[in-house]
Amino acid sequence: MAEKYWETIKVQFCDHVGCEVSLDGEFVYPAEFLPDQPARLVSQRCSRGLDCNQWNNMTCVWAGTNPTHDPFSQK
């Protein structure tokens, strides 16, 4: 049976909240009888995305309020 896990992909300082936040991914690992299959990334989220979604101002794509700004794409 396949298994799903949330894992941290990247940790980065976010100017909007003034602290480090993580980009998390939901990975699906194949069943044991398919050992050569790589894990598949099926979903992503920011660790503070729900909090930022409650703000009145636009934040970023992970909060769902500004599709043109992705803080995790910056170096």
The single residue among 49, 57, 67, 74 that binds ligand SF4, judged by CB under 6 A, is 49
Helix, strand or coil, per DSSP, at residue 53 = helix
Closest contact distance (angstroms) between CB of 5 and ligand SF4 is: 20
Question: Considering only 1-9, 15-23, 25-33, 35-43, which stretch makes contact with ligand SF4 by CB under 6 A?
Answer: 15-23
Closest contact distance (angstroms) between CB of 43 and ligand SF4 is: 15
56's CB contacts (< 8 A; 6+ apart) are none
Residues in touch with ligand SF4 (CB under 6 A): 14, 16-17, 21, 46, 48-49, 52, 59-60, 62-63, 71
